[in-house]
Structure 1
């Protein structure tokens, strides 16, 4: 099963689905997803900062779980975001790459860009990997 098939089979969770997040590429080395601006905005029409973070956490946590493998679960323990531009229409794309892939911890960086390729937000998430009780 490919990483994208695994992610599709596992599902992204109800929040990511409600926000319209769609995975387009998914491996341990690189995960990519898109999200519409429409429906995820602040009252003034800008993509909500929390929406960037949901996209980043969806990508980073899922990538960490793919790395963790069967019988183990990655859970987020820290996330931060720096917003540098505001998307107002179309779609944004998040590209998730690992900074550290350890036995018990992962760190991923997610760069979110608008349709013109301009970076709008940079998110870093740390996940703890634990064994799932049988």
Structure 2
């Protein structure tokens, strides 16, 4: 029998996205997903009370040079879904059933920081408010996402 440690197959992807090693097994089979990687989303805080990640404006802009509105929603859905999965725990799957977004201000440079905070953490549904801010701390957009928890 070997005492060698076998790394998780998605370790590199998970670490690049800021996912702490102790959470790798929970995200196991799926990692963070190709879109999270393409958008440059990196998690900086993961807890039941707050899920935080950053995303660069660069490479996520519309033709006018400002952050694409859909990029705001991608960041919000990523944070809300990960927060719901964190709440649901191992052995559960979450699926988004509703999301909305209000855009308040444009961003053309820097990093956007999204913070998901729970509005409702139930047995079968979660709802999170996700606020995106620029480097100066100004609110760029506000999203609300509701996820359904499916038990395996």
TM bracket (short chain) = over 0.9
1:36 corresponding residue in structure 2:
56
Counting only pairs closer than 5 Å after superposition, residues 1-134 of structure 1 correspond to structure 2 as 4-5=20-21, 6=23, 10=27, 11-132=31-152
**Count of matched residue pairs:** 130
SS in 2 for 1:65: helix
SS in 2 for 1:40: coil
Where is the strand percentage greater, Structure 1 or Structure 2? 1
Q: TM-score, normalised by structure 2?
A: 0.82
SS in 2 for 1:33: strand
SS in 1 for 2:95: strand
Higher relative contact order (CA 8 A, sep 6+): 1
1:4 Cα deviation from its structure 2 partner: 3.9
1:8 Cα deviation from its structure 2 partner: 9.1
Q: TM-score, normalised by structure 1?
A: 0.92
In structure 1, stretches of 5+ residues that fail to align are: none
In structure 2, stretches of 5+ residues that fail to align are: 1-18
Structure with bigger gyration radius:
2
Mark the CA change 1:87 to 1:34 in structure 2 (over 3 Å): closer, same or farther. same
Contact 1:4 1:27 survives alignment (8 Å): no
Contact 1:65 1:73 survives alignment (8 Å): yes
1:74 Cα deviation from its structure 2 partner: 1.1
Distance 1:26 1:73 in 2: 17
Distance 1:69 1:9 in 2: 8
Distance 1:99 1:43 in 2: 34
Divergent runs of 4+, >6 A: none
Contact 2:131 2:141 survives alignment (8 Å): yes
